[in-house]
């Protein structure tokens, strides 16, 4: 049976490390979170980010805007935060209401404050192999950190990423390539998903379809990381991986909840600290 990777414990360790580093600073890093509307999932994520900030000593300054706020007003706020020298990191919580172009707004964040790693400059850095010079999206970064802290060697392995979004699948594939994996990226048009996933030494699913990955799709001993989060009608959170059947085949597996989710927030705290230091904060 697979070893279960405890994302909560790992995230706690990272938060403790960030807190110790923040405590040695003369100033306090500041994260500004922009939340538009009342999407319940976004409210939960923002609250968790606030809690993590409080825990590590980062000041969270949140702007909560009404659902009907115009795109222009949100853009003006982002530009104002870009100019505010007291703000080190800016995060625009997505999804934004339908009348707002999310890509346009997140793309407006100053690259040096872009702790979500969504701007063209930071995507370019990652693509060109200069990820350390900028910011990488927190979820893929969290997956890589999980693999590292679990002692999983990436170089030379067959890695299969299911999902090709700009926030998760694509940056994850780039991070794995940079670390020497042979990477296959699958998506909704992949002809035979099981044939691809069965070749994976490291299998990462980031789709949002509960039960998509079943035991018969997994190679014996593979490392299986479940990024997917879906809230079912009964309120329970489900990953993409059918935990019961896959844990019998995998060598390591992450649960949902308690896997990648907490790591995402921990990596955000690391990114805010990095922004503070890169902006010359002592």
Question: Which of 12, 26, 66, 93 is the catalytic position?
Answer: 93
Taking the complex as a whole, how short is the minimal distance between the CB of residue 79 and ligand NAP, in angstroms? 26
- Least separation in angstroms between residue 207's CB and ligand NAP is 4
Contacts of residue 121, defined as CB under 8 A and 6 or more positions apart, other chains included, come to 111, 114, 134
Asked about 226 being catalytic, the answer comes back as no
Structural contact between residues 249 and 127, judged by C-beta atoms closer than 8 angstroms: no
Please confirm, yes or no, whether 48 is among the known catalytic residues.
no
For binding to ligand NAP (CB under 6 A), which residues are involved?
139, 162-165, 167-169, 186-190, 193, 206-209, 227-230, 260-261, 264
* Residue whose CB is less far from ligand NAP, 192 or 280: 192
Of the residues 113, 114, 116, 270, only one is catalytic, namely: 116
Q: How far is the CB of 165 from ligand NAP (least distance, A)?
A: 3
Return the number of the residue (87 or 102) whose C-beta is nearest ligand NAP: 102
Using CB atoms, what's the residue nearest to ligand NAP?
A: 208
Minimum distance from CB of 41 to ligand NAP (Å)?
Answer: 8
Q: Which of 257, 248, 253, 228 is nearest to 5 (CA)?
A: 253
Q: Is 66 a catalytic site residue?
A: no
Give the residue numbers marked as catalytic: 49, 93, 116
């Amino acid at each position: 049976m697979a070893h279960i990777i405890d994302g909560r414990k790992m995230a706690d360790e990272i938060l403790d490390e960030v807190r110790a580093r923040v405590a040695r600073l003369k100033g306090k890093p500041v994260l500004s979170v922009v939340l538009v509307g009342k999407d319940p999932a976004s409210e939960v994520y923002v609250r968790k980010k606030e809690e993590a900030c409080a825990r590590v000593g980062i000041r969270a300054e949140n702007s909560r805007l009404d659902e009907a706020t115009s795109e222009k007003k949100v853009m003006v706020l982002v530009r104002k935060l870009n100019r505010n020298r007291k703000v080190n990191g800016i995060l625009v919580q997505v999804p934004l209401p339908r009348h707002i172009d999310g890509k346009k707004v997140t793309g407006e964040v100053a690259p040096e404050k872009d702790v979500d790693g969504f701007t063209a400059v930071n995507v370019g850095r990652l693509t060109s192999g200069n990820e350390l010079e900028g910011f990488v999206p927190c979820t893929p970064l969290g997956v890589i950190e999980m693999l590292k802290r679990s002692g999983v060697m990436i170089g030379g392995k067959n890695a299969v990423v299911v999902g090709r979004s700009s926030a998760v699948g694509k940056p994850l594939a780039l991070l794995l390539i940079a670390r020497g994996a042979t990477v296959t990226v699958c998506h909704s048009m992949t002809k035979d998903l099981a044939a691809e996933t069965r070749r994976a030494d490291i299998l990462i699913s980031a789709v949002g379809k509960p039960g998509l990955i079943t035991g018969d799709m997994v190679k014996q001993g593979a490392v299986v990381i479940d990024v997917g989060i879906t809230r079912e009608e009964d309120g329970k959170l489900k990953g993409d991986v059918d935990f019961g059947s896959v844990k019998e085949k995998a060598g390591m597996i992450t649960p949902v909840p308690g896997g990648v989710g907490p790591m995402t927030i921990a990596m955000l705290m690391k990114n805010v600290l990095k922004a503070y230091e890169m902006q010359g904060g002592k």
